[in-house]
Structure formats: structure tokens, C-alpha cells
Amino acid sequence: MIIMKSDATKEQVRHVVKEVEKYGLRADVSAGDYRTVIGLVGDERKIPFDHFAILPGVKEARMVETPYKLVTREYAKMAGEPERRIIKVGNVEIGGDELVFIAGPCAVESKKQLFTIAEGCKKAGAHILRGGIFKARSSVHSFQGLGSAGEEEAREALQWMREAGDKFEMPVITESRGEGQIDLIAEYADIIQIGARNMYDQDLLTAVARKKKPILFKRHFGAGIEEFLSFAEYMVAEDNKDVILCERGILPLGKGKSYTRYTLDLAAVPVLEKETYLPVMVDPSHAAGRRDLVLPLSFAAIAAGACGLIVEVHHNPVEALVDSAQQITPDDLKILIDTAKTIRKDMAGKKKK
Ligand code: PEP
Ligand code: MN
């Protein structure tokens, strides 16, 4: 990390960036009101700190010992950048004062199904529409999502998402399961989701970040917080800071019958918020795996400080092709959203006092 003097000129910053690039590294320039901080991205063995430290305008060049740095609040603070990143998607602000609710079916099954659910979600108060077109499934014999049938089918389903989003005035999000799907998805979606199973796929992360669209990044069920942030760093290192972190449950303990699909790690929410400026959301649906737990977990997540939720909703959950047990109805979504907002309002009132 190179910290420039507060009176360093633009020319001096440009010169440092050129020097950094000469060594085959990339420079992440954060120009704050007070001073500019340059994060170096690349193989740390190549970095001649002593050389950088004496360049004109440089206050300090030092090694950061954590496997991530660009995502930290400390980095933003040093650069004089906001301590919270607000990500704008259409008219929606993620990480701002208002809670954001992403809702929709686990999988897009048909145009009619999608439009019925989208309308219900909008009426319930949702802001963003979700819908899986490329599904990450544990068995090759299960329904893999309409997109897996071929490019034409994928494009058609993506078009439905776009149309439903436009009709009900909600930006849309869908998951990219692999590098080969990114270009097509980016043509239609406003936010690209990286699923829990792909959290460790650094090539996928790099490729998706280069689309310069917001990304919803889900924590792998076996990943620690440090790993989660280290892999978020892959996207921020591509100069895409529009990354929404999503806690969705880690592997549950115990033998035999498990009562929840995963264990929602609620402590991760305030921990991540202390560590990073990126907004943190929670997915209660995949954590619970059962619809009777989705509302209580949602309320707990809001109380823990999440800036929003991503919830699976189906007009007829028992008939859903994927994740039937955990999808809630639009009526339940309305109760969820109204109650979550009340909790948030109550918390905000207490903070002010
Ligand atoms: C999903 O949101 O559709 C999904 C598959 O979630 P996760 O990656 O968290 O399992
Ligand atoms: Mn699902």
C-alpha cells in the first residue's frame, strides 16, 4: 500500500502509478478528499517497497499483512472514502438508509410463473427481483434451470426476467454459474450473483468483476470470514467495488437429522460490517431450508444489522421445481417486509437517542 502525502500533486500520483505498472502490478487508486492511497494488486514478491517509498509525493510505502486489504474499512478510511459503500442499482440503493429486499423464485420455471411471482413480490414491497436460470444443483439428475438447456433457452428466460423487472419496476438479479455464462447474463441482468458453491472460483470472480456490474457474492458454507473477504478482494482488485456480501449459512453440526439446511452465521453480519465497507445482506431461505424459519431468521438478520435480505418466494411453493420446502408466499413476504422495516425503524430510533 502506498500512502501519498496530503499535498501530493496529480502528476506525482500518475508517476507512482506508472512506476507500479512498470513492475507488472496494478494500481488501485483511491483519491479521497484528504489524501490518495494506492493499493498494489499483484504478486507481492515483485514489490520494491524501498524504491516506491522515495518517489516524489509518497509519504509511506508499506506491506499489509492480511490476505485482503482493498475491501477493508481501514483502507477506505485512509483514502478518505465513505465508510459504507452505497451501491446504486436503478432507483434502489443497497447499503443506504433503507432496507432492500430481493425476492423471487429459486428457479425461473416459465414466463407465467415468473410474472405471477414478480407481481406478488412487488405488491409485498420487494425492490429487486431474483430468479435462477442457471441453477447450482447437487445432483446432475435434478432440474438444472432453464438456461442449462442451451443458449436459446437461456436467452429466452433472461428476456422474461428483463421484461418482468421492467414491468414491475424492479432491477433483476440472476446467478452466473460459470465463466461461459457471464456475457449473456450481463446483457440482461442488473446484478450478477455468484453462488456459495463458486465462492472459491477466482477465475469466475475476476471475469464477473470485469463486467463492471454489481455483484451479489455469497459466502461458501465452509468458508471462514477471512476467506470470504479474501475472495471478495479478487473482484475489488479488478476495480469493481460494487460487491454485496451475502451470508447464507454454514455447515450445520450434529449427527443424523439436521433441523436446518445450514446454520445461519448471524455473527458474520456485524463482524463483516466492522471489517469492510461493502454492504452485507442475508439469505434466510437457503440457510433455513424450511419456510417456517424464514421469517424469524429474517428478523434476526435485520436486528444483527443486515442492509437487506434475499428471499425465495413462490406463488405455489409446494409445486416449485426447486427448493420447494423453503419458498414462502407473497403474502408471507409482505409480513416479512413490514415487520423487518418496523425492527429497523425501532433500531434507528434507539441509535439516535
Ligand atoms: C440461490 O440463491 O439460488 C442459491 C443457489 O443459493 P446458494 O448459492 O447460497 O446456495
Ligand atoms: Mn434456491
Contact 106 CB / ligand 1 (< 6 Å): yes
pLDDT tens digits, one per residue of 77-87:
988 889 999 99
Q: Which ligand is nearest to the CA of 261?
A: 1
Going by pLDDT thresholds of 50, 70 and 90, the confidence category of residue 352 is low
Ligand 2 centroid distance, CA of 125 (Å): 20
| Distance from the alpha carbon of residue 63 to the mean position of ligand 2, in angstroms | 41
Domain spans, the chain: 2-63, 87-352
Pocket test for ligand 1, best of 161, 177, 218, 312 (most atoms within 8 A of CB): 218
Predicted confidence (pLDDT) at residue 35 exceeds the cutoff of 90: no
* Protein residue with least CA distance to atom 9, ligand 1: 196
DSSP state of 102: E
303 lines ligand 1 (CB under 6 A): no
Cα distance between residue 142 and residue 311, in whole Å: 22
**pLDDT digits over 268-310, tens only?**
999 999 999 999 999 999 999 999 999 999 999 999 999 999 9
Counting from 1 in the atom list of ligand 1, the atom nearest the Cα of 218 is 9
Q: Please, are residues 285 and 326 in contact by the beta-carbon 8 Å criterion?
A: yes
Q: For residue 256, what pLDDT is reported?
A: 73
| Greater pLDDT, 33 or 16 | 16
pTM of the model: 0.96
**75, 208, 214 from 240: Cα distances, Å:** 15, 9, 8
More confident call, 34 vs 327: 327
Q: What is the pLDDT of residue 254?
A: 82
Q: What is the mean pLDDT of residues 120-144?
A: 97
CA distance to 77, 215, 232, per residue, from 290 (Å): 41, 26, 28
Atom 6 (ligand 1) nearest CA: 195
Q: Which of 3.30.70.1140, 3.10.310.30, 3.40.50.720, 2.70.150.10 would CATH assign to domain 2-63?
A: 3.30.70.1140
Does 45 or 233 have the greater pLDDT score?
233
Q: Cα(248) to centroid of ligand 1, in Å?
A: 8
> Under a CB-based contact definition with an 8 Å cutoff, are residues 84 and 279 in contact?
yes
Confidence of residue 42 (pLDDT cuts 50, 70, 90): confident
Which pLDDT does position 251 carry in this prediction? 96
Closest ligand to residue 132's CA: 1
Mean of the pLDDT values across residues 23-30?
A: 92
Q: Please identify, by atom number, the ligand 1 atom nearest to the C-alpha of residue 195.
A: 8
Burial class (CB in 10 A: 0-12, 13-18, 19+), 119: middle
- What's residue 350's pLDDT? 82
- Beta strands 92-94 and 191-194 are unpaired
User: Domain spanning 87-352 has what CATH number?
Assistant: 3.20.20.70
More reliable by pLDDT, 66 or 344: 344
Mean pLDDT of the chain: 95
What is the structure's pLDDT at 81?
86
The CA 98 to ligand 1 mean position distance, Å, reads 24
Ligand 1, atom 4: nearest CA belongs to which residue? 195
Q: Closest ligand 1 atom, CA of 132? A: 3
Question: CB neighbours (10 Å) of residue 255?
Answer: 5
Helices (H), 54-176: 73-78, 111-124, 151-167
The CA distance from 100 to 88, in Å, is 11
